[in-house]
Chain A
Amino acid sequence: MLGSGIIRGFIETARNFAGSYCSRERLTTIQYPEERLAQPESARIMPFLVFDGADPKAGLRCTACTICEQECPPQCIYIIKDAVKKPDHIGKMQMQPKVFDIDISVCMGCGICAEVCPFDSIKMDQVFELSSGERFNTFLLHKEQLAKPNEYFRKLHPSDAAETDARRAEDKIKAEAKARAAAAAAAAPKPPSSPKPGPPPKVPAPVPEHAEVAT
């Protein structure tokens, strides 16, 4: 019958219309900005820099190695190295950035900088309400605006942060052990006077039961 297909279609739209009042499956919209959906842990919008401790300058993990600057696809990262070095988390002297700028109006949020960073310094932020009426200075973020504490990183990416923290703590323990060994070796050029553990007491080798005893 001509028109039966249209009527069947209307039945479907009616089902969806009625369903949108009782089924979450059919009503998927929410009232933003009053209601908000939680972002997944992996969400990435734009980069930020992680620092340890309380001082954003002393604790900044960035060593100005410029790998992110080289790999950034739209080339929105700009780094100038500082002449003064500072110790990192294992006490090794590292370079630090004098200038670290990201033009987030150019940044496309691909996350490659966070992926290639060998110092766990640059990570992806999840703020997305970034609109501004001012076109230039608002979107050029400097080191001071980019630096965020490690707690912030832990909040955004808990599992990534846990893995990073564990690895850095291990590095620190290793470095401390190495430093202690080096210090001990430097402090004591002559062998220490502590009694050496004696040789293990001699135990006669057990004769295997099935071994033939030589006569």
Chain B
Amino acid sequence: MIAIDNDTEVKQELLEVSMGPHHPSTHGVFRMNVLLDGETVVKLKPVFGYLHRNHEKIAETNSYLASIPYTDRLDYICAMTNNWAYTLSVEKLAGIAVPPRAEYIRVIVSELTRLINHSCLAGFLLQDMGALGTPLMYAFREREKILDLFEALTGSRMMHNFMRFGGCRCDLPPGWVDGAKTIVAHFGPFLDEFEALLTGNEILRARTEGVGVLSGALAVSAGVTGPMLRASGVNYDIRKVDAYGAYGKFAFRVPLGQRGDVFDRYMVRILEMRESLKILEQALRELPDGPVIDPKAKLRNLRPKPGEAYGRIESPKGELGFYLISDGGPTPYRFRVRPPSLINVTILEDLCLGHSVADVVVILGSVDIVLGEVDR
């Protein structure tokens, strides 16, 4: 109750709005309970679980091999990195070595996945700001070319089911490396074009700069990982920290943001794509010959010794980890996914407080969630 003068009283109420689960800006079935004071967000509660598929429990009843196709469906834009995180943890659990060619192929497909994810994210972010279609379609056009490569390699455009314990399912088909080189060569000019379209745009700047600022300290204490953490200026990239796979052999830099706002998050991803292109050029040039899978590795009837393992990789969205406990049986005793999307979205309220409803949409877009991974 605010007294304007002695005679009149203006009644002021907070309005509770349920954004989603069927809202085009929520990138899936995600709901935000927003408490509004006029246009300003006072309270925000993320609600998820609409896409729960019981992934962890299903994996505990299936064999180790049968869980690989399910991991494709976690973050359905980046199936390759999901495969890698899972196979990495099983390899740790069972002590399986990976031949060098397979490590290189894994790096190549994962970096191509990163290009897909980041370019699509930029497109979706602009879509959320109201640039309907154009940037997203340009990103999708480039994504299609990479998906064609993936289809020729794995047989499926999105659900690749490509990696196996101890390597990859099949070798690269003839002409694949040349196709990949062509795409990598064309992707740099596309990024230049994309940036000319977007980065200097005054509307984009006005909508993103100073919006949804995430401090480095909060990001670290909340467990935020990936481009979102690096946009807040924290230098933590698992490709550098763990140097898993063949990443220790490549020269690349880790782009960092300064302010941690939406614009930094956008810019870090654009710069990461440029670094991915560098990794791809090196990996495609130095791709060694040899087997793509350890011939001693068992696919069926894998029974790792009792124990536990946590394998993690830098997926395009952050730290994707699989924690497995084996009791010596044919199925994992415990199968836990550490999804970057879920943990990155937990701080949504801190980012959105004090901003308007239209900014909530942009901030959610910059967090980069995929509901398949949030809900599992």
Interface residues of chain A, those whose CB is within 8 Å of chain B, are 2-6, 8-9, 11-13, 15-16, 25-26, 28, 39-44, 67, 70-73, 108-112, 115-116, 124
Contacts and interface: CB of A to CB of B under 8 A. Distances in A.
Interface string B126-154: 00000000100010010011000001111
Nearest to B134: A13
28 contacts: A2-B202, A4-B200, A6-B201, A6-B203, A8-B196, A9-B198, A9-B200, A12-B193, A12-B196, A25-B186, A40-B151, A40-B155, A42-B152, A43-B156, A44-B156, A67-B300, A71-B66, A73-B62, A73-B67, A73-B69, A108-B159, A109-B159, A111-B155, A112-B65, A115-B299, A116-B65, A116-B299, A116-B300
A133 B186 CA distance: 43
B52 interface: no
A12 B161 CA distance: 37
Contacts of A13: 134, 197
B155 A124 contact: yes
Given A6-B201, A11-B196, A73-B62, 19 more contacts: A5-B200, A5-B201, A8-B200, A9-B197, A12-B196, A13-B134, A16-B138, A26-B141, A39-B151, A40-B152, A42-B152, A42-B153, A43-B155, A71-B66, A72-B66, A73-B66, A108-B69, A110-B159, A124-B155
B205 interface: yes
Interface of B: 62-63, 65-70, 72, 134, 138, 141, 144-145, 151-156, 159, 161, 169-170, 173, 186, 193, 196-205, 299-300
Nearest to B72: A110
A3 B69 contact: no
Nearest to B190: A25
B149 to A, nearest CB: 10
Nearest to B144: A28
A153 to B, nearest CB: 15
- Among A2, A3, A42, the most chain B Cβ lie within 10 Å of the Cβ of A42
